[in-house]
Amino acid sequence: MTRSFDDSGDIVHYRGLRDWIEKVESFGELKRVSGAHWDREMGAITQLLTQKANNSAPAILFDDTPGYPKGYRTLYGHFSTTRRIALTLGLPLNLPRKVDYVKAYHQRLQSLKPLPPRFVETGPILENVSFGADVDVLKFPVPVHHEKDTARYIGTASCCMTQDPDTGWFNMGAYRCQVYDSKTIGCQITEGKHGRIHRDKNFERGQSMKFVIIVGQDPLLFMLSGSPLPDGSSELDIAGGLRGEPLDVVRGPWSGFPIPADCEIALECEAVPGNALPEGPFGEWMGYYSDDIVPRPYLIVRSILHRNDPIICCAPQHKPIDETGLLKGIGGCAEIWRALEASGVPEILGVWNHEAGPATRFTVVQIRQRYPGHSRQALHIAASCAGGAYNGKWTVVVDEDVDAGELGEVLWAMCTRFNPDVDIDIIQKAWSSKRDPMHQPGNFNSRILIDACIPYDMKLKGTFPTIVDVSAGLEARIKDKFPDLFR
């Protein structure tokens, strides 16, 4: 598809992973690396390029992996810049503030008309199909991602598709998938996640369950799979709505599931009640090996579909800041914004999950106060809604003059508009998991809610000290007079 723009010349459209890679390379944001080994080298290179890059790290396409055919590639670091997030979501590429991307995405979701996928007879994913004795997931250069991992993981930036046995709804989640051998993989799913609920429903009835693990797909599907979407929402349908046309899918030859016709690799799998193997360790998204190595249900790979010269998409989280911080941050923020508005909270100006958090560990909501208790209402909803509930820790609310996406401004507000004796609320026994090294027995944690807004009575009376700042009018005149200084 050709490049097209809106009136600002700032929106780029693409279709599928390979077109996305071409667009990213045209931006100068793709690095090609030849000869890196699948055993820890790819993951280490990605971490070293990403963690101190201040959201400017490239996407990395590895090829010529020792022991594998040229063209069998791995892609790391999808979402290390807001520019690549904007490309993926079909948003303007150069918005002035980080929270503007959340606002633009939130607005698109509010008016979105989901479009169910369109079944087609064939597609690139059917170029190679194997069953039975021919099934071998290690024909691909599946990496060991972290130095202290003890297994290869084919699923880190994958989409794990499950079906609700009651409603028939297909969900896609981003769950880690360990490789045990050529025909056996794991799928670790935290309690409360949609895929886990689907699996639990089947196992409670003594039923086996079908999974399709999609490895290498349109980055939009990976982003949606990692976002806390409402129950019953199909990522395939939402992706179609965001694209403005249905996604083409083929019917899985073993599962019957709708598999994106242009994805790179699809593993059709079966989970059988009672089948379990020790799973882990894996360096997780909070930057620790904090999860227990325990028996977890595994998947038997019944068929493999893949394109010629397939690409494995990878997102092995590491010590923040990592390549999934923006992915989780923007998707989660949009859901928090939706919940705030759905609860009747007015004047939401910005929501941001700070990348070093990561995800919803440090969420900031920016409001324009309109009534007593407005800030506390926003705090509690943001910390408890679906977008902010899982493994959160800090939630902060700030005024309209503090940019929620700029940590320095947020800390200034926390240090000058906050009194520890009256401006802290605590939530106990909230939804957590063993990914949190400070989880409490039963997989709970506690949340701290910080009201860093000007006290409402002082704001109303105008008695809070005046801020030292440049007025909007003077700023506009200066930028107009000296445009080269602010390019």
Among residues 279, 313, 347, the one where a domain terminates is 313
Q: Are 442 and 388 in contact (CB under 8 A)?
A: no
Mean pLDDT by groups of 10 residues along the chain of 487 residues: 41 94 96 95 89 85 97 94 93 92 92 95 98 97 93 95 96 95 95 93 97 97 87 92 96 98 98 95 77 90 98 86 74 91 96 81 95 96 89 93 94 96 93 77 89 95 89 90 84
At 198-252, the pLDDT tens digits run: 999 999 999 999 999 999 999 999 999 988 787 888 999 999 999 999 999 999 9
Count up the domains in the chain and report the number. 3
Residue 321, preceding bond cis, omega within 30 degrees?
yes
pTM across the whole model: 0.85
Which residue range(s) make up the domain with 377? 325-459
160 and 215 in a single domain? The answer is yes
List the CATH number of the domain containing 359: 3.40.1670.10
Could you give the dihedral angle defined by the CA atoms of residues 239, 242, 246 and 250, in that order, rounded to the nearest 10 degrees?
-20
Which pLDDT belongs to residue 437? Answer: 76
97 and 131 in a single domain? The answer is no
Within-domain flag for 446? yes
Within-domain flag for 470? no
418 and 448 in a single domain? The answer is yes
Within-domain flag for 133? yes
94 and 205 in a single domain? The answer is no
Which pLDDT belongs to residue 389? Answer: 85
Within-domain flag for 4? no
277 and 233 in a single domain? The answer is yes
Q: What is the CA radius of gyration of the chain?
A: 23
At 247-306, the pLDDT tens digits run: 999 999 999 999 999 999 999 999 999 999 999 888 876 677 777 788 999 999 999 999
104 and 122 in a single domain? The answer is no
358 and 412 in a single domain? The answer is yes
Among residues 108, 133, 149, the one where a domain terminates is 108
List the CATH number of the domain containing 303: 2.30.110.10
Among residues 46, 76, 108, the one where a domain terminates is 108
Q: Are 158 and 214 in contact (CB under 8 A)?
A: yes
265 and 378 in a single domain? The answer is no
Which pLDDT belongs to residue 392? Answer: 83
Within-domain flag for 428? yes
121 and 233 in a single domain? The answer is yes
Residue 400 CA: distances (Å) to CA of 349, 378, 397, 452: 7, 14, 10, 11
66 burial via Cβ count (<10 Å: 0-12, 13-18, 19+): exposed
CA 55 vs. chain centroid, Å, equals 15
Q: Which of 224, 312, 301 has the alpha carbon at shortest distance from 267? A: 301
Within-domain flag for 466? no
Q: Are 145 and 156 in contact (CB under 8 A)?
A: yes
Which pLDDT belongs to residue 344? Answer: 96
Q: In the numeric block, which tokens belong to residue 250?
A: 């083929």
Which pLDDT belongs to residue 486? Answer: 80
163 and 261 in a single domain? The answer is yes
Within-domain flag for 128? yes
Amino acid at 101: Y
338 and 434 in a single domain? The answer is yes
Which pLDDT belongs to residue 15? Answer: 92
25 and 145 in a single domain? The answer is no
What span, in angstroms and rounded, lies between the C-alpha atoms of 341 and 464? 28
Within-domain flag for 486? no
For residue 141, give every residue at least 6 positions away whose Cβ sits within 8 Å of its Cβ, in sequence order, or none. 38, 62, 65, 67, 68, 72, 73, 74, 312
